[in-house]
Amino acid sequence: MVLVRNASKHEDTIFRATGILSTGLQEFEFPVDSTVESLMVSVTLQCLQSITVLRSSNTEVHAGEPNVDDNRFRSGEILIVARPSAGTWRVKIAGIGLFFVVAQAKSSISLDHVEFVEPGGRPGHEGLFPIKGPVRMGVQTLMVRLTAPPGELKFRLINSQSETLEPLEIEPVSESDGNREFVRTFPLKHPSFRVAVEGRDEAGYPYQRVLPRLIQVNE
């Protein structure tokens, strides 16, 4: 219920990773930019030993602190921090088994739309439209829309563990009042991936937004 109640208030995904922890300890890091009004970090681990969340100042977030709503469970934790400090945050987990680590934000910067498209439309009204059917291997065209301040952007394809599969050079096709649209045609070669975008906010802090769903590609 804690997750359901707060997910709609934190619609922008900053970081998402899932996998199997077999070493007993793993650390993750992600940027929190100055536009983040509220940060929600949710962690689950099958055989949990400990979870540590560290601010950009390298201080641990504790329950009972001002602006902190800490919800602990037998195999996880949901931590909500109002007005988090900008900079690099870290999450350390200890234990064994299947894990999920997700950082979501309430923010004015958002990854609004990611889809594969193809040319279509009647004469005089041509354009790019969502592809029909599943995404398949081979040359495809990706369209990305986001709300973000002006400035250089870097796009990446990442796997479910949030590791980079490949950088992606995407050309801007329209930019107006913070609404930015990009398109790139390239050969798909990964069976599954997420799209991540990085830039800097107006205060100069790095930001990252990630597509929550994992795109599955058919052979």
pLDDT digits (tens, 9 = 90+) for 129-153: 889 888 999 999 999 999 999 999 9
pLDDT values of the chain reduced to their tens digit, one per residue, 219 residues:
777 778 789 999 999 999 999 877 999 999 999 999 999 999 999 999 999 999 999 999 998 899 999 999 989 999 999 999 999 999 999 999 999 999 999 999 999 999 999 888 677 667 788 898 889 999 999 999 999 999 999 999 999 999 999 999 998 998 888 899 999 999 999 999 999 999 999 999 999 999 999 999 987
* Long-range Cβ contact pairs of 152-155 (< 8 A, separation 24 or more): 152/199, 152/200, 153/180, 153/182, 153/197, 153/198, 153/199, 154/197, 154/198, 154/199, 155/182, 155/184, 155/195, 155/196, 155/197, 155/198
Q: How many CB atoms are located within 10 Å of the residue 120 CB?
A: 13
Numbered ranges of CATH 2.60.120.380 in the chain:
2-106
pLDDT at position 125: 65
pLDDT at position 88: 98
Task: Just give the CATH number of 110-216.
Answer: 2.60.40
pLDDT at position 98: 96
The encoded tokens of residue 30 equal 């992600």
Q: Is 155 helix (H, G, I), strand (E, B) or coil?
A: strand
Phi-psi sector, 89: left (phi>0), alpha (psi -120 to 50), beta: beta
Q: How many helices (H) and strands (E) does the chain have?
A: 1, 16
pLDDT at position 133: 86
Cα→Cα distances 39→2, 107, 111, 207, Å: 14, 9, 16, 13
Q: pTM of the predicted model, to two decimals?
A: 0.91
Radius of gyration over alpha carbons of the chain, in Å?
Answer: 19
Q: Which of 47, 173, 25, 24 is nearest to 113 (CA)?
A: 173
Numbered ranges of CATH 2.60.40 in the chain:
110-216
Cα→Cα distances 86→107, 110, 195, Å: 12, 17, 23
Task: Just give the CATH number of 2-106.
Answer: 2.60.120.380
